[in-house]
Amino acid sequence: MRKLSLTLVLVFVLTGVVWADEPVQASGRGFFGFAGVTDESSELLFHMGGGGEGKLVGGLGVTADLGYLFSREGFSGGIGLFSPGLIYHFNRDSRTTPFLTGGYTLLFRDGVANLGFGGGGVDHWFKERLGLRFEFRLHVRSEGLAEGRIAFLFR
């Protein structure tokens, strides 16, 4: 857990150092969602967590999420997910901005598994500092983990 926290801090600090001539626009989020494995099983999973992102240049930015995936049986059988990646926002001058995102996902519990992820969605800012995100992600290895999320955004 200590390495994950350090990684998150480094992503945002290095982003500020690399693009020091332009202030980093950062935002945070808390999310919840539903997920399912894209194989024959039909188990519904729940995902909750938080994350953030920082703008690099134009619509391009870095993003990172840390979450917990669990079933109806409760928290005890769940797994952790850490997903750093890139994000690109379109139509940035609007209150409603569609985006595409992709990167790496680390699943961890007793061991680890490495996956890639891709997805997209839309952010809608109600006020300058408060918004809502609707997002779909697909985490892929030999089988996929598809999820839909709703996130509360803040700056």
- If we measure between CA atoms, which residue out of 34, 61, 43 comes closest to residue 150? 34
Mean residue pLDDT across the chain: 85
Q: Could you tell me which residues are beta bridge partners of residue 145?
A: 37, 139
Whether pLDDT at 6 is above 50: no
Which CA distances in Å does 143 have to 39, 108, 116? 7, 17, 11
pLDDT of residue 144: 83
User: What radius of gyration do the chain's Cα atoms show?
Assistant: 16
Mean pLDDT of 94-107: 96
pLDDT of residue 15: 46
Determine the number of helices (DSSP H) and then strands (DSSP E) in the chain.
1, 8
- If we measure between CA atoms, which residue out of 118, 121, 119, 64 comes closest to residue 97? 121
Q: Could you tell me which residues are beta bridge partners of residue 83?
A: 65
Q: Collect contacts of 125-133 with beta carbons under 8 A, ≥24 apart.
A: 125/95, 125/96, 125/97, 125/153, 126/95, 128/155, 129/154, 129/155, 130/154, 131/27, 133/29, 133/31
Whether pLDDT at 17 is above 50: no
pLDDT of residue 77: 84
Whether pLDDT at 35 is above 80: yes
Percent of the chain beyond pLDDT 90?
65
Q: If you ran DSSP here, which 8-state letter would residue 21 be given?
A: T
Mean pLDDT of 78-89: 96
Whether pLDDT at 100 is above 90: yes
Task: Tell me the C-alpha distance between 70 and 74, whole Å.
Answer: 6
pLDDT of residue 43: 79
Whether pLDDT at 20 is above 90: no
pLDDT of residue 71: 87
Is pTM, for the whole model, over 0.85? no
